[in-house]
Chain A
Amino acid sequence: SQQGEEDPQALSIQEGENATMNCSYKTSINNLQWYRQNSGRGLVHLILIRSNEREKHSGRLRVTLDTSKKSSSLLITASRAADTASYFCATGNSGAGSYQLTFGKGTKLSVIP
């Protein structure tokens, strides 16, 4: 079952602009992670934010988590053509008997040079 739902499904921006992607989920989580996938390749882990954290930064990436709204956002600042990829959120769930990492369907980001 897929818990994370990214929004928008696709996003096209000019190089230098900021890109914001959102993720909503349904049940309580242990953590939320963002991954990147270049076309036809494996996923690369970008950042992990725990349920007791509200914001995290890594280079040009900023992730926020609002557990009351069950949502997260990924902001990429000063985008580059090399940021063109699909971005997935994944929720780490730790309910009784379940230790699952559940992926959404992704946001496809295109950065135009």
Chain B
Amino acid sequence: DGGITQSPKYLFRKEGQNVTLSCEQNLNHDAMYWYRQDPGQGLRLIYYSQIVNDFQKGDIAEGYSVSREKKESFPLTVTSAQKNPTAFYLCASSIGKKIYNEQFFGPGTRLTVL
């Protein structure tokens, strides 16, 4: 059963804590992405990776960090430096390295800062 999985579905964080969101894909896609979605808004790109051990900042990378040690995995860490982290986080992947290709999305993680 191919696809993208994200965990956890809901995450609660206290102010000042770092948290890591998991994203795994078994589609053998080269490229992976992290987006943030706020209520009533579109998606904004946080980070993307076109190949293992390489990643690029998106439009809103401040306060976030990522790693791409394996092709299947692209975890996102929300650090304490992110001023307003409460949001819905979506991971996606696409075949090939051109990030304007069709993207496949995971189910999302809803992060709430208490």
Query: In the docked arrangement, what's the CA distance between A93 and B35, Å?
Result: 17
Point out the residues of chain B lying under 8 angstroms from A92, CB to CB.
Answer: 100-101
Query: In the docked arrangement, what's the CA distance between A92 and B10, Å?
Result: 30
Q: Are B100 and A101 in contact (CB under 8 A)?
A: yes
Q: Are A45 and B102 in contact (CB under 8 A)?
A: yes
Question: Scoring A residues 84 to 99 as 1 if CB is less than 8 Å from chain B, else 0, what string do you get?
Answer: 0000100111100001
- Distance in Å: Cβ of B5 to nearest Cβ of chain A: 11
Question: Scoring B residues 34 to 59 as 1 if CB is less than 8 Å from chain A, else 0, what string do you get?
Answer: 01000011111100000000000001
Q: Are B90 and A42 in contact (CB under 8 A)?
A: yes
Residue tally, chain B, CB below 8 Å to A: 25
**Candidates B88, B103, B106, B110; contact of A101 at CB < 8 Å:** B103
Point out the residues of chain A lying under 8 angstroms from B42, CB to CB.
Answer: 2, 4, 88, 103-106
A40 adjacent to chain B (CB < 8 Å):
yes
- Distance in Å: Cβ of B95 to nearest Cβ of chain A: 12
Point out the residues of chain A lying under 8 angstroms from B83, CB to CB.
Answer: none
Q: Are A42 and B105 in contact (CB under 8 A)?
A: yes
Residue tally, chain A, CB below 8 Å to B: 26
B85 adjacent to chain A (CB < 8 Å):
no
Residue from the set B4, B42, B90, B106 with the largest chain A CB neighbour count within 10 Å: B42
Q: Are B100 and A94 in contact (CB under 8 A)?
A: yes
**Candidates A1, A41, A103; contact of B43 at CB < 8 Å:** A103
B99 adjacent to chain A (CB < 8 Å):
yes
| Complex A-B, nearest 5 residue pairs according to Cβ-Cβ distance, in ascending order | A92-B100, A42-B105, A103-B42, A103-B43, A43-B105
Q: Measuring CB to CB, which residues of chain B are less than 8 angstroms from any residue of chain A?
A: 4, 6, 35, 40-45, 59, 88, 90, 92, 98-108, 110
